[in-house]
Chains A and B, each alone.
Chain A
């Protein structure tokens, strides 16, 4: 079975974020980057399916040079090879343009299954996978907590609202977006890290990409949200602040 995992590299979760001078995006210079968390779970699920059913796991990632680090980490964890769509213009693309790029990079692979995280931690649109499925003309299911392969079809447990679930069966090839926490993440072994260096990475250079169509949707500006609520910040040493907060709970909110 051939499984493709689409991953994105995003700023490390607790990064201090600064808006860039043009107000169009964030200052990336001093940031560290890591694999988008839901994508890490998609990769884990792909590796588990490979452990069980055999086959190949191919990672695809669109991003600048630095995304190579995320790709190497995925290979070190056990992916067999990778496709790096080299591009610096991710922020100016809308989902449609990005999904087109990803779809065209993997189309010839004729994979049985494509997995990706349910959304990115940076833009959070939660739709790249879905639109990719549309571009490839294959069925999809989103927000999935469990994946089973049954002769030519895939059965997935979708998470719905308020603790509800539903099993959905689809013919393969299919695309599935994975929810975080589906199973514990593995670490790369030393052997894996060593092996990753020799695993093939196909690089698609920017000049090999068709020029993107004008975006249907544009990110015009980014800015710090304005506080809607006046938060009373309780200052002092931990002991002082704790004592003041206990007073608040007792005399203002009256719950003690």
Chain B
């Protein structure tokens, strides 16, 4: 066994989180003195191969097959299973995308392994990698280790390793990109995927908003929404929400911020009664200033907040609305 293999995601264009997985791979490969390779699956991968050739990698693999053009669990698991058997890597890293969540646990199980999913950091402890994960919606961290024989599989949380673009490789860097053609039969693929679609044209573009007031479970009832709406109006801010509020139909889905909703980066993001589950944080952590109002001082939202008020939102928010009106009037 040797080397670190980063499995990337490409569908006509790169999933940006691929570069984060590569950055993580580079870091850990250097730390344990192992070569780093990358792999990507698909039907038409010439453009992807060209991008990979310019990367500072020991090697890259395009896993090509007509049956891999549209993603399916069965196709991806079978193809990567063959690649991993032939490379025998120590460590296989993935970006923790929705697609990876769909197939990587099953791929790991094929090797008698458990995926260490959604890791936020990797450090070395006496030469062995220790993976850090969040538990209980970010209230606790946990250290995980891989034991025994066989490759270790881990996926990396969005934003945990910074890389918005591929690494600038030295001009003379050339990585050999090898094509790997897995043996696949149409009969192996049990699911039939349809077209990807969006529910409706979005009429609210929160990504352009400079001020956002966002509301979460702490608001308790739909009837209480006017108190945050008043604050948003006083500030001239857009109103947004965490997922449960939109799931309940209290606000339209297009006002949802998070991994399944919009990604925002306003000047100020005021999170009201939002605990700060990672699915929400990934959608708003690009905000320039974050204000959190929450009754639980240990809520993970305070991890990303610049300013916080620990208190009852039903008292704090109306007071803030009044104070904002006063400050604006003055």
- Residues of A with Cβ closer than 8 Å to B? 11, 13-14, 16-17, 19, 26, 94-96, 99, 121-127, 130-131, 133-135, 139-143, 158-171, 180-181, 184, 214-225, 227-229, 231-234, 238-239, 241-243, 245-250, 253, 255-256
Contact partner, B322, options A125, A169, A229, A242, Cβ 8 Å? A242
In the complex, whether B315 has a CB less than 8 A from a CB of chain A is yes
Residue of chain A at shortest CB distance from B259: A161
Residue of chain B at shortest CB distance from A220: B143
Contact assessment for B102 and A227 in the assembled complex, using a CB-CB cutoff below 8 Å: no
Contact assessment for A135 and B109 in the assembled complex, using a CB-CB cutoff below 8 Å: yes
* Dominant SS among interface residues on chain B: mixed
Distance between Cα atoms of A58 and B191 in the complex (Å): 25
Contact assessment for B306 and A232 in the assembled complex, using a CB-CB cutoff below 8 Å: yes
Residue of chain A at shortest CB distance from B158: A161
Which residues of B lie under 8 Å from residue A229 when comparing CB positions? 303-306
Interface residue count for B (Cβ, 8 Å)?
93
Which residues of A lie under 8 Å from residue B328 when comparing CB positions? 256
Contact assessment for A231 and B306 in the assembled complex, using a CB-CB cutoff below 8 Å: yes
Distance between Cα atoms of A221 and B22 in the complex (Å): 27
Chain B nearest CB from A226 CB (Å) reads 8
Which residues of A lie under 8 Å from residue B197 when comparing CB positions? 164-166
Chain B nearest CB from A17 CB (Å) reads 5
Distance between Cα atoms of A222 and B133 in the complex (Å): 9
* CB-based closest 4 A-B pairs: A181-B247, A127-B105, A242-B319, A246-B323
B295-330, CB < 8 A from A: 296-298, 300, 302-312, 315-316, 319-320, 322-324, 326-328
- Given the known inter-chain contacts A161-B259, A165-B196, A181-B247, please indicate yes or no for A255 contacting B268, CB distance below 8 A: yes
Contact assessment for A219 and B268 in the assembled complex, using a CB-CB cutoff below 8 Å: no
Contact assessment for B148 and A216 in the assembled complex, using a CB-CB cutoff below 8 Å: yes
Residue of chain B at shortest CB distance from A99: B109
Which residues of A lie under 8 Å from residue B263 when comparing CB positions? 162
Contact assessment for B320 and A242 in the assembled complex, using a CB-CB cutoff below 8 Å: yes
Contact assessment for B143 and A140 in the assembled complex, using a CB-CB cutoff below 8 Å: no
Contact assessment for A140 and B73 in the assembled complex, using a CB-CB cutoff below 8 Å: yes
Contact assessment for A142 and B311 in the assembled complex, using a CB-CB cutoff below 8 Å: no
- Residues of B with Cβ closer than 8 Å to A? 73-74, 97-99, 101-102, 105-106, 109-110, 112-118, 130, 133-148, 150, 152, 190-199, 202, 210-211, 235, 243-244, 246-248, 253, 259-263, 267-268, 288-289, 291-292, 296-298, 300, 302-312, 315-316, 319-320, 322-324, 326-328
Contact assessment for A220 and B196 in the assembled complex, using a CB-CB cutoff below 8 Å: no
Distance between Cα atoms of A253 and B289 in the complex (Å): 8
Query: Can you name 16 A-B residue pairings with CB atoms under 8 Å?
Result: A125-B117, A130-B102, A143-B98, A160-B99, A161-B260, A163-B260, A163-B261, A165-B196, A167-B194, A216-B147, A218-B145, A232-B308, A246-B323, A246-B324, A255-B210, A256-B327
- Given the known inter-chain contacts A126-B101, A160-B98, A222-B142, please indicate yes or no for A139 contacting B136, CB distance below 8 A: no
Which residues of A lie under 8 Å from residue B99 when comparing CB positions? 160
Residue of chain A at shortest CB distance from B322: A242
- Given the known inter-chain contacts A139-B190, A159-B260, A232-B307, please indicate yes or no for A218 contacting B323, CB distance below 8 A: no
Distance between Cα atoms of A228 and B311 in the complex (Å): 22
Distance between Cα atoms of A242 and B99 in the complex (Å): 43
Residue of chain A at shortest CB distance from B116: A217
Contact assessment for A255 and B211 in the assembled complex, using a CB-CB cutoff below 8 Å: yes
Distance between Cα atoms of A143 and B147 in the complex (Å): 29
Distance between Cα atoms of A133 and B243 in the complex (Å): 27
Contact assessment for A217 and B147 in the assembled complex, using a CB-CB cutoff below 8 Å: yes
Chain B nearest CB from A178 CB (Å) reads 12
Contact assessment for A124 and B243 in the assembled complex, using a CB-CB cutoff below 8 Å: no
Contact assessment for A245 and B307 in the assembled complex, using a CB-CB cutoff below 8 Å: yes
Residue of chain B at shortest CB distance from A123: B135
Contact partner, A95, options B105, B134, B308, Cβ 8 Å? B105
Contact assessment for A231 and B302 in the assembled complex, using a CB-CB cutoff below 8 Å: yes
- Given the known inter-chain contacts A17-B139, A255-B267, please indicate yes or no for A142 contacting B102, CB distance below 8 A: yes
- Given the known inter-chain contacts A96-B113, A139-B74, A180-B247, please indicate yes or no for A121 contacting B136, CB distance below 8 A: yes
Contact assessment for B268 and A225 in the assembled complex, using a CB-CB cutoff below 8 Å: no
Residue of chain A at shortest CB distance from B191: A170
Chain B nearest CB from A190 CB (Å) reads 24
